[in-house]
Amino acid sequence: MNARNWLEKAKSEKFAIGAFNVDNLEIFKAVVAGALAKKSPVMMEFSDGEVKFLELNNIVDLVKNAEEEYGINILLNLDHSPDQAKVEEAIEAGFELIHYDGSKTPYEENVEICKAIIPKAHEKGLTVEGEIDHIAGSSNVHKEQITFDEIKEGFTKPEKAKEFVTETGVDIFAAFFGNVHGVYPVQPSIDIDLLKKIREAFPDTFLSMHGGSGISDSEVRQAIEIGKIVKINVNTEMRKAFREGLEKALKENPDEYAVYKIMPDVISGVQKVVEHKIDVFGSAGKI
């Protein structure tokens, strides 16, 4: 099944597909292992920085090889790209989902770029995600607390979002209703009532939830069941598990210089995060 088929299945059966950011081979292996263990579809997504580090064609080949070897469904997503040229490169390279992030550009320019990108993506059977509001925070483990004013600044306004969706024809809309990038000492709560209003404003468009790290499992389930969220992005919790696992492995193996020998436990730690998210999202056993 292609990305649209999976998103339609997720919407009708009330589950979400985890969109896991990958910035090294170990996290890639952890996502593959988690998907295989849980018999779940997954999205692997790469931001512009991650694409620059791993390189576009390498990413496409890694995903194709894993799908063929393990018989799992990996949907390849370009995440939060603000660059039209890089978006078009990803379309040509073989990505299945394209997220153009025009939230920092003037609204009309955002619309025009989306309208230029979407036909090129649709011609190849790809899906396009768009956004108009800039999500607060960053994909990190924060010691400082995020303020309500920072969060509220990026809340989606249902009527404005409906206008954007109608003008552009995006397949997926990135909705912000209290979700933030990163993990904080006290994680903000999501606004389910606002999500319901967003869902009602354009019921035929898929909705994504960025900032899937740190949100309580119960709130995530509400977002899926009530708001019909079908795509949930996860990054920070995996990065945290990777770093903590690596630090532990290095401490326990001070004389080991063959890096691959200390990585299995690191990968396992990230895999546990992936598997837990899959269970919460309800996508286990869907393959």
Q: Which residues are catalytic?
A: 79
Q: Is the dihedral of CA 90, 11, 227, 195 positive or negative?
A: positive
CB 43 within 8 A of CB 75: yes
**Degrees to nearest 5, angle at CA 25 with 23 and 26:** 100
Q: CA–CA separation, 53 vs 214, rounded Å?
A: 26
Least Cα distance to 244 among 278, 277, 272 occurs for 272
Backbone angles phi, psi at 19, to 5 degrees: -110, 100
Composition of the chain by helix, strand, coil, percent to 5: 55, 15, 30
Angle at 50 between CA 49 and CA 56, to 5 degrees: 105
As a whole number of angstroms, the distance between CA 32 and CA 45 comes to 13
Question: Which region holds residue 125: left if phi is over 0, alpha if psi is between -120 and 50, else beta?
Answer: left
CA distance 278 to 99: 22
Q: Which residue(s) pair with 130 in the sheet?
A: 100, 173
For residue 94, what are the contacts with CB-CB under 8 A and spacing of at least 6? 60, 64, 76
- Read off the tokens for 272: 């546990």
